[in-house]
């Protein structure tokens, strides 16, 4: 999905983030990228690139019509990669436009908990996955949730409130959500290797 991406440009961007972090006060920029989960469950970028980031956001953007078993296996296999941090928009639905892909969400939640992966609650009003029921299921399993806005522009950051509302509807509390962690806590929670 990363049009125009190459390793050199990512390295430049990472250096720029380092420079900014030296200057910024009271805020720390983390290095991340959204990585495609390919049909066979591998990630679309090499581990040698992923290991230089603070976290990765991994997601399905193709092959929505796989069987429930294959789609579930695909995502769990991706989670086996130790650089996998957050499963973004876990059902792939676009409200009023695209149905969720068929996947065993309960197994994804258990797999995420076992591997120390985080599940995204996508705050964008077109998405809002996880559902409230998925959120409660994740809480009961002890899996952590990241609420994020799927921002494609600065103004999208204001969508956060819809994610927080959905989290509350799904019985989530601050301890269930990685957004509430201090930076050292977050880094520790994301560190798998
Ligand atoms: Zn995406």
**52 three-state secondary structure:** coil
Q: 187: CA distance to ligand 1 center in Å?
A: 22
Query: Which pLDDT value is given to residue 7?
Result: 83
Predicted TM-score (pTM) above 0.85: yes
Mean pLDDT computed over every residue of the chain: 95
Region of residue 120 (left: phi > 0; alpha: psi -120 to 50; beta: else): beta
pLDDT, mean of residues 7-19:
93
pLDDT, mean of residues 62-90:
98
Q: 116: CA distance to ligand 1 center in Å?
A: 20
Q: 184: CA distance to ligand 1 center in Å?
A: 26
**pLDDT classification of 4: cutoffs 50, 70, 90:** low
Do 150 and 124 form a contact (C-beta atoms < 8 A)?
A: yes
What is the rounded CA–CA span in Å between residue 2 and residue 135?
A: 29
Q: 1: CA distance to ligand 1 center in Å?
A: 9
* Tens of pLDDT, residues 148-193: 999 999 999 999 999 999 999 999 999 999 999 999 999 999 988 8
On the question of pLDDT at 22 being above 70, the answer is yes
Q: 53: CA distance to ligand 1 center in Å?
A: 18
Q: 122: CA distance to ligand 1 center in Å?
A: 10
What is the rounded CA–CA span in Å between residue 186 and residue 193?
A: 14
- Domains of the chain with bracketed CATH: 31-190 (3.20.20.140)
Query: Which pLDDT value is given to residue 6?
Result: 80
* Tens of pLDDT, residues 38-72: 999 999 999 999 999 999 999 999 999 999 999 99
């Amino acid at each position: 999905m990363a049009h125009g991406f190459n390793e050199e440009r990512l390295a430049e961007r990472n250096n720029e983030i380092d420079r900014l972090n030296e200057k910024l006060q009271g805020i720390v920029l983390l290095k991340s990228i959204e990585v495609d989960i390919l049909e066979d469950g591998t990630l679309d970028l090499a581990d040698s690139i992923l290991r230089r980031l603070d976290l990765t956001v991994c997601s399905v953007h193709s092959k929505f019509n796989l069987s429930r078993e294959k789609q579930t296996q695909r995502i769990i296999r991706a989670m086996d990669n130790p650089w996998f941090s957050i499963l973004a928009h876990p059902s792939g639905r676009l409200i009023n436009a695209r149905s969720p892909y068929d996947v065993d969400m309960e197994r994804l939640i258990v797999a995420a908990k076992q591997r120390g992966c985080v599940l995204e609650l996508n705050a964008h009003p077109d998405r809002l996955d996880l559902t409230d029921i998925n959120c409660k299921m994740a809480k009961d399993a002890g899996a952590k949730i990241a609420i994020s806005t799927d921002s494609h522009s600065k103004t999208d950051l204001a969508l956060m409130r819809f994610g927080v509302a959905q989290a509350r509807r799904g019985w989530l509390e601050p301890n269930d959500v990685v957004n509430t962690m201090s930076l050292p806590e977050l880094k520790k929670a994301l560190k798998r290797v």
